[in-house]
Structure 1
Amino acid sequence: MRISRQGLMLAPESARVIIRPFIPPPNLIVSTLGRALALEESDVLQALEKVLAEFKDRHFAIEPLLLRNFEKVMSFLPEGVTPLSLSRERVLLIGALFSGEYALESAALFNPSIVPHPDQTGVPEGGLRFIMSLRATGEGHISSIEFRAGMIAADGSIALDHPSRFVTQPEIIPDPSYEKRSFRLKLAEMGVCEDMTHQVMAALDEHFTRSDLNRSVGTMRDENQPASHELTHTLETIDWLADSNYEIRFSKDLAVSERIIFPVSANESNGIEDARFVRFIDDDGTVTYYATYTAYNGHDILPQMIQTKDFLHFHVLTLNGDAVQNKGMALFPRKVGGRFAMLSRQDNENLLIMFSDSPHHWSDPEIIMRPSMLWDLVKVGNCGSPIETEAGWLVLTHGVGPMRKYCIGAILLDLEDPTKLIGALDRPLLSPEGKEREGYVPNVVYSCGGLIHGRELILPYAVSDLASSIATVSLDDLLAALTGTP
């Protein structure tokens, strides 16, 4: 089988940084503010000038970020001191005292997925512009989603756009909308008081905003004082769920590599892990890009979903159903038999499949593949969404074998009934070789999704949880191996 490693390496770059709040305990906030307020104005100007000279060129617009972090601590200002009573320079300096740079990919840049770019304007005939998602990991092992753009030429050559030095977080849309049915289903799964949630939700339309929800929650709280422990828990859970479903938006002026999705909600505070993007085409031809990912809060993991049409405006959503657990959910790129289909691994061992009338509600998984080869005897899972071919659904898999060695394999599922396994490779498609074996987690190759261009499988893959590369595979050779045809 013809497999070609392309020699492209996406290595972590520590110089790509964002500004994050650096907020100490309240007593230190108060003492730091006291020292900042005691400075002479001339000293403030000199200190701010030094900060801006040192950091301004590392960010697109540093001052709004410093002002935002000032706002996080301004409630601790001494009595009689207001933001309006302070010079802009002192406000900016205080913001800098409660800010710090964070290197997004200082530890790793790995677990890529790849989809066609939504804008193919100006692409030469036979070429394809793509977007690649990557898991970036920095200090404290916090993971976020980065993007890269590139081009596959008609001759199959692959070129990546040079990544920008700058990285920008999106605007968080302040008043996102929610679907009432999905919201109620998730609350029911979380086991909160049904009567109390019904009273809150009864006042809301089928589609409601965060402002609508806040008013209903506020009314419920005001009408039931003093609040019982159960009411407090219920209302806090409603707020938590609302916070976990949010919208973000990037400026259209930002290059693809300048966009970063960093954890926003509490349930993903320690990381957004292993996004599996897929270009989904609905029955009416509408295209939506979905990604499943693992939200991690430092203790628990929770599968979530991202939706976008343009990689500028994103909806982040919780998933519902008793099968929403563990890692590795991967959505099929179209409906199968009139229903959404999803690969999964709820038991942390076997490859499973589920069907649903909604992309947000999942239950009743069934096993379609178990570990059976020496190289996957520990467990198997998917390496991204299935890819449709004339021979069946091509599923890239990963297997864990002796010495916790991760390899990438492939199976073929029936197009009409993907619970049926047509064929599976008896040996890995890709195994860690040479320098690929060395990294944060040695002896690992892994992917979150590939695509087909012409008769080539384009397979981005991670090497030992450190960096990423790209391989190409002859689709004809691969399908022949999976179907047993010469």
Structure 2
Amino acid sequence: MSVKATRTGIVLSPDPTRVLFRPFELGTTRTLKIIARVNAMSDEEVDRKLGEVIREFGGRHYRLERFLTQRFGQIKAHLLTDEPVSTERQLLLGAYFTMEYSLESAALFNPSMIWHPDQTNVPPGYKRFILSLRATGEGHVSSISFRMGYIDAEGKIVLRKPLRYVTSPETVPNHRFNRSQFERKLYELRLENSIQEKMMLGLGDEFSLSELEAQIKRISAQFRYNAEYDTIASGLLALAKSNYEIHFDDDQSLDERCIFPSSPNETNGIEDARFVQFTDDNGEVTYYATYTAYNGRVTFPQLLETKDFTHFSVSTLNGAEVSNKGMAMFPRKINGKYAMISRQDGENIYLMYSDDLYFWQTKELILKPTYHWEYVQLGNCGSPIETEEGWLVLSHGVGPMRKYAIGAFLLDLNDPSKVIGRTKEPILSPDENEREGYVPNVVYSCGGLINERELIIPYAMADYASSFATVNVDELLAELTGKETPEVVTES
């Protein structure tokens, strides 16, 4: 008899009241008209209208006036004169070019779960965790949202109610690029030629986006009649803008933080982040997340990294085998190399190795759809989890009527290309309460973890809401290995 997961009954539904402010972009003509109308207002009218805005929206946002000031700075170039503008009028102009965005009004799904880096002041037997989720709002734009919670001494999962505010991060100014790595990425993107060489010629071993922009502008006159110039220039700038750093204020709670799309690759969303606590050979811990960037036409696998969930670096992944969705990192190096589980062809599971975290050139097929519930495609449901019996990997399979279910497989610790076992039947399939939603008949996860002898699986229901299920690790490993009482190493 196959092992089945036990549902906890917890349901995490999207909350439309969680709003953040975003730029309200309008064309040049309308922008000029709005500025003219606001500038025609008397000082008394400006004060009165600004007061209404602050009263109505100030309690819904974190540091609203700071954002309005920033928005004024972004539209200031449209002012027709250098006449000084009062602080109140600046704020009001900023408000006219700001909008609220309901972060998770459409869905809150595809969760990934890791242990919180801060376990101080936790009662004996308790452990804090971080839950990342794909939040989807207006226009079906996806971003990364966070929740926090703990598992108590009895193994009960308790989610903390998120705080009222939610805010996107600020981009770190003057982020420095490593020239050697940047040029290698240009080569992988086939953007290397004589024009590109001239664009890079005046840059040092490290450079910023503004320095790159200035250099491209500096040589533009030489190539004004060259048809390739605009293509190469656009490609260089798009690559630079897709590799960036972001930062949240230290006094913001993690569940107030939202990683919102901000690069050319992400204009239509950041999807399905698979977080993993990675321990390097020297013991240093970094939190990585592979995710899918979507620009409305093409998907791009990308990498998010952080030490503290306050400062994040975002990088493009490059190489011949970086394609499709669902790349998931192993939590440590295997035989001195970084390792990934992947699915380049849309239906099979592959193993990848690399000496460089940002470049992936090879793959090896390790699993094909074999059982009825996975005939359409296979994929991972998060990063491999280390046990003494092997690497435990949650998987998803797609069967008749595009029904998604969750299973598992086990890989050899020293040679993950060797498959020790796999579940012949799903351990979790959509029940009648989980079938209806944005995408019917889907259960899906981006990563679970082991607590004591329980595998905790956070999972999405019909691409709408999220829940948790648990599986006894001993029973699952017994099914995968054929042994009666396997031993496991729980994550620390």
Q: Could you tell me the TM-score, scaled by structure 1's length? A: 0.96
User: Letter of the aligned partner of 2:288 in structure 1?
Assistant: Y
- Contact kept? 2:223, 2:229, Cα under 8 Å: no
Long gaps (5+) in structure 1:
none
User: Letter of the aligned partner of 1:328 in structure 2?
Assistant: G
Q: Distance in 1 between matches of 2:12 and 2:154?
A: 22
Could you list the per-position Cα deviations for residues 268-301 of structure 1 after superposition, in whole angstroms to 9, with x for gaps in the alignment?
0110000000001111111111100000011111
4+ runs deviating over 3 angstroms:
198-222
Alignment of 1:83-162 (within 5 A): 85-162=84-161
Local SS of the residue matching 1:434: coil
How far apart are 1:27 and its partner, in Å?
Answer: 1.3
Structure 1 pair 193/282, CA: closer, same or farther in 2 (3 Å)? closer
Aligned to 2:63: 61
Q: Distance in 2 between matches of 1:259 and 1:485?
A: 44
Structure 1 pair 213/26, CA: closer, same or farther in 2 (3 Å)? closer
How far apart are 1:203 and its partner, in Å?
Answer: 4.6
Could you list the per-position Cα deviations for residues 364-418 of structure 1 after superposition, in whole angstroms to 9, with x for gaps in the alignment?
2121111111111110100011111111110100000011110000000111111
Local SS of the residue matching 2:430: coil
How far apart are 1:211 and its partner, in Å?
Answer: 4.6
Q: Distance in 2 between matches of 1:150 and 1:217?
A: 48
Q: Does 1:180 align with 2:182?
A: no
Match of 1:399 among 397, 400, 407: 397
Long gaps (5+) in structure 2:
485-492
CA RMSD, Structure 1 to Structure 2 (Å): 1.6
How far apart are 1:458 and its partner, in Å?
Answer: 1.2
Match of 1:77 among 73, 76, 79: 79
Q: Distance in 1 between matches of 2:480 and 2:232?
A: 51
Could you list the per-position Cα deviations for residues 226-269 of structure 1 after superposition, in whole angstroms to 9, with x for gaps in the alignment?
46332332222111111100001111211110010000111101
How far apart are 1:134 and its partner, in Å?
Answer: 0.3
- Contact kept? 2:147, 2:159, Cα under 8 Å: yes
User: Letter of the aligned partner of 2:472 in structure 1?
Assistant: S
- Contact kept? 1:58, 1:166, Cα under 8 Å: yes
Could you list the per-position Cα deviations for residues 106-163 of structure 1 after superposition, in whole angstroms to 9, with x for gaps in the alignment?
0000000011111111223333211111000000000000111111123211111111
Structure 1 pair 103/394, CA: closer, same or farther in 2 (3 Å)? same
Larger mean CA deviation between 119-128 and 473-482 belongs to 119-128
Structure 1 pair 20/6, CA: closer, same or farther in 2 (3 Å)? same
User: Letter of the aligned partner of 2:253 in structure 1?
Assistant: A
Q: Does 1:445 align with 2:447?
A: no
Q: Distance in 2 between matches of 1:2 and 1:128?
A: 25
How far apart are 1:89 and its partner, in Å?
Answer: 1.7
Aligned to 1:285: 283
User: Letter of the aligned partner of 2:338 in structure 1?
Assistant: F
- Contact kept? 1:221, 1:227, Cα under 8 Å: no
Structure 1 pair 214/31, CA: closer, same or farther in 2 (3 Å)? closer
Aligned to 1:163: 162
Q: Distance in 2 between matches of 1:35 and 1:217?
A: 37
Alignment of 1:343-422 (within 5 A): 343-422=341-420
How far apart are 1:195 and its partner, in Å?
Answer: 2.7
How far apart are 1:164 and its partner, in Å?
Answer: 1.0
Structure 1 pair 9/92, CA: closer, same or farther in 2 (3 Å)? same
Local SS of the residue matching 1:418: coil
Q: Distance in 2 between matches of 1:2 and 1:272?
A: 31
Q: Distance in 1 between matches of 2:203 and 2:469?
A: 50
Structure 1 pair 214/19, CA: closer, same or farther in 2 (3 Å)? same
User: Letter of the aligned partner of 1:44 in structure 2?
Assistant: V
How far apart are 1:166 and its partner, in Å?
Answer: 0.6
- Contact kept? 1:193, 1:230, Cα under 8 Å: no
Q: Distance in 1 between matches of 2:56 and 2:233?
A: 45
Aligned to 2:13: 11
Identity %: 52
Q: Distance in 1 between matches of 2:215 and 2:416?
A: 44
Q: Distance in 1 between matches of 2:112 and 2:420?
A: 25
Local SS of the residue matching 1:75: helix
Q: Distance in 1 between matches of 2:213 and 2:96?
A: 33
User: Letter of the aligned partner of 1:30 in structure 2?
Assistant: L
Aligned to 1:213: 212
How far apart are 1:216 and its partner, in Å?
Answer: 4.2
Q: Distance in 2 between matches of 1:404 and 1:217?
A: 48
How far apart are 1:434 and its partner, in Å?
Answer: 2.1
Q: Does 1:340 align with 2:338?
A: yes
